[in-house]
Amino acid sequence: MRTEEIWRYVDAERASLAELLSGLTADQWRTPSMCPGWTVQDVAAHVISSPQAKMLPVITGMARARGDFNRFVFEEARRAGARYSPEEIVAQYRQYAGSRRHPLGTVPADPLLDVLIHGQDIAVPLGIPRAMPPEAARAAAERIWAKSFPFKARKRLAGRRLVATDIDWSVGEGEELRGPIGVLVQLMTGRTHVTAQLK
């Protein structure tokens, strides 16, 4: 997928997520997300942190986390979720609409997979249907499969062949797991609650 097309999907997914968030109650914002230790508010703050990432705070945060990237991301999301109110977080989605900034060391497909995956992490525990556009999910799946960190999809799913049932896409070798590409994206990122949707 071409870079500008990826960014158009990022824009659309962030906009639709902002609409979802703007309609949530206070209790829904405090609901535990599909990410252990993060509330819906923490996840929402994390997703829109991508275009706001700056070098010095990242270096400081990594030092605070003693070089552990996963710990850094976890702590920064918790910190942002506590710092900003729901209204401020939604305002950030409006403010950064159309932004092409992304953290150093990432590519445009990374913000795309981030908003697609975390959109589900927010919607699923709230019981809100949120479909992934198949072509956007395909681009995210290819990025996830191509990079080993942080999801380690190739290692975790060794001996399995993933086959999308709604578009022409497959990876891996071995026993087949079949399902919609959006479900496969969630599986590849460790969201095991989707296994019941696989054949």
Listed residues 108, 129, 150: the one ending a domain:
129
Whole-model pTM: value is 0.93
14 and 48 Cβ atoms separated by less than 8 Å: yes
Whether the bond into 150 is cis, omega within 30 of 0:
yes
* Torsion angle defined by CA atoms of residues 43, 45, 51 and 54, in that order, rounded to the nearest 10 degrees: -110
Pair 141, 119 in one domain? no
Listed residues 76, 104, 129: the one ending a domain:
129
Distance CA 86, CA 24 (A): 9
Pair 24, 117 in one domain? yes
Pair 112, 193 in one domain? no
Q: What is the pLDDT at residue 146?
A: 95
Q: What is the pLDDT at residue 56?
A: 64
- The percent of residues in the chain predicted with pLDDT above 70, rounded, is 97
Structure tokens at 58: 């990242």
Q: What is the pLDDT at residue 74?
A: 87
Q: What is the pLDDT at residue 10?
A: 98
Amino acid at residue number 69: F
Domain count, the chain: 2
DSSP bridge partners of 32: 39
The C-alpha angle with vertex 68 and arms to 182 and 120, in degrees rounded to 5, equals 20
Q: What is the pLDDT at residue 58?
A: 65
> What is the per-residue pLDDT across 5-28, written as a single tens digit (0 to 9) for each?
999 999 999 999 999 999 999 999
Sheet holding 175-179, edge to edge: 170-172, 160-164, 175-179
Listed residues 85, 109, 129: the one ending a domain:
129
> What is the per-residue pLDDT across 114-161, written as a single tens digit (0 to 9) for each?
999 999 999 999 999 999 999 999 999 999 999 988 999 999 999 999
| Positive or negative torsion for Cα 152, 108, 5, 101 | positive
Pair 7, 81 in one domain? yes
Domain that holds residue 84: 1-129
Pair 141, 104 in one domain? no
> What is the per-residue pLDDT across 178-195, written as a single tens digit (0 to 9) for each?
999 999 999 999 999 999
